[in-house]
Amino acid sequence: MTIWIAMLLGLVQGIAEFLPVSSSGHLLLIQKMFGITEGALFFTVMLHLATLIAVFIVYWPTLIELIKHPIQKTVGLLIVATIPAVVIAVLSKKIAPVAAFFDAADAGQYLGFGFLLTSLLLFISDHVRHTRIDENGEKVERKGKKLKNMQVKDALIIGCMQGVGVLPGVSRSGSTISGALFTGLSRKTAADFSFLMSIPAIIGGAIFEVPDAIKTGIGDMHWTILVAGMLVAGITGYFAIKVMINAIKKKKLLGFVIYTAVLGALVLVDQFVTHYFF
């Protein structure tokens, strides 16, 4: 792997981790395109950790508050929302049929369908409306719930959506934000809760993948290549969070809907017809 490809992968990871287009799907696609196998898993794990730093920087005041006062509702909701992903991760390692499915997914077998599912989730969430009857008997749109109004069932629904987002091609941020909007959260709260959820998700994912990553090793990759990729991932991840928060507040997800739909269709054409990369 050259330093330029490492920086390209870092750029893709930083952007796609927080924009609803699936970082794992894009990394897998680029690795297929460039034939990258040596040290790929270790490199991917390190890129994920680099984007985690971006979340720390953006949400540092919130995280400090959570650390100072760990016994509070927000922490509890984040724990509840993380449970489904943990269950799925354990099943993917311990249950043979489930493990076989995830192995096929990680190899890219369902990548095109994953991108299309992301597009569908974003489209539906962008058009979901929660209404109530006002004093005049007319149907009006409800204001989205704030974090203080969230319930345990809301966190579980969002957590299950995060479980779906572990599949390559299915965006973790897109699925969790969609789940949050389905439960009636405000758009800003949906984005904030999704990004806070990414902290235990990224840490947990790294822990599960560390044994395999160490086993496969870094190969002949020089440490400067690894650092370059991580730096690009962290910097672009920071700006991607800012862009996504702005986009979700302004209801501008249509571009992501179109992009993931087109990409999913192209991947399926290659998987079933042209076979250039798959």
pLDDT tens for each residue of 2-44: 899 899 999 999 999 889 999 889 988 888 888 876 567 788 8
What pLDDT does residue 220 have? 72
Q: Are 133 and 81 in contact (CB under 8 A)?
A: no
What pLDDT does residue 42 have? 82
Question: How many domains is the chain partitioned into structurally?
Answer: 1
Phi first, then psi: give them for residue 141, nearest 5 degrees: -75, 135
What pLDDT does residue 137 have? 61
Joined together, the tokens standing for residue 101 give 């499915």
Plot region of 108 (φ>0 → left; ψ -120 to 50 → alpha; else → beta): left
- What value does the mean pLDDT take over residues 240-254? 86
- Does pLDDT of 134 surpass 70? no
- Does pLDDT of 130 surpass 80? no
- What value does the mean pLDDT take over residues 136-148? 72
What pLDDT does residue 229 have? 93
Range of the domain at 96: 3-274
- Does pLDDT of 87 surpass 70? yes
Residue-averaged pLDDT of the chain: 88
- What value does the mean pLDDT take over residues 238-261? 90
Q: Which of 56-65, 97-106, 143-152, 214-223 has the lowest mean pLDDT?
A: 214-223
What pLDDT does residue 177 have? 93
Strands, DSSP E only, in the chain?
Answer: 131-133, 139-141
- How many Cα atoms occupy the beta-carbon half-sphere of 194 within 13 Å? 30
What pLDDT does residue 119 have? 96
- Does pLDDT of 132 surpass 60? no
- Does pLDDT of 195 surpass 90? yes
Q: Are 47 and 13 in contact (CB under 8 A)?
A: yes
Percent of the chain with pLDDT over 90: 52
